[in-house]
Amino acid sequence: MGTETTTELDHVRKYWTNKKPHSPIYNFLLDDITIISATKGRIIAHLKLLPVHVNYKKTLHGAVSSCIMDWAGGMAIASEGLDDTGVSTDIHTTFVSTATEGDVLEIEGKASKVGASLAFTTVEIRYAGDGGKMVAYGTHTKYLKK
């Protein structure tokens, strides 16, 4: 995936660059996330887990997983060419496994449907290596204000 670029990838990266400074929680938790690829309705990103991402047991904190669901759903909607990805109405996160500090996660966000007023997304969080073992998955619905 190296230096490949697409119109969608350029748009999503620009959207993230513009949004990030205005979101303290994303700035804090997702400062080092890297958007690897984007096509219409789909993004892939990588995040190396740091001390800020883990709980007292040194495993991925559930709040971080849910934050990733929120972020990746929005980025998947942005990959459809939107400049405003709306506001969250519903987020579900299912925790399947865990990860620890130093692990690199692969995040895949997909826009299942982007309508006139609602957008529906699915998100998977997996190990970037280790055969892509699932860590968490979920859904995210957003109201697209016009």
pLDDT reported for residue 6: 81
Q: List pLDDT tens digits, range 127-139.
A: 997 689 999 999 9
- For the stretch 75-123, pLDDT in tens is 999 999 999 999 999 999 999 999 999 999 999 999 999 999 999 999 9
Mean pLDDT across the stretch 43-47?
A: 98
pLDDT at 26 over 70: yes
Instruction: Provide the 8-state DSSP code for 75.
Output: H
Task: Categorize the per-residue pLDDT at 141 as very low, low, confident or very high, splitting at 50, 70 and 90.
Answer: very high
CA distance 110 to 139: 9
Model pLDDT, residue 131: 81
- The predicted structure's pLDDT at residue 129: 78
26-61 burial, b for 16+ CB within 10 Å, e for fewer?
A: beebbeebebbbbeebbbbbebebeeebbeeeebbb
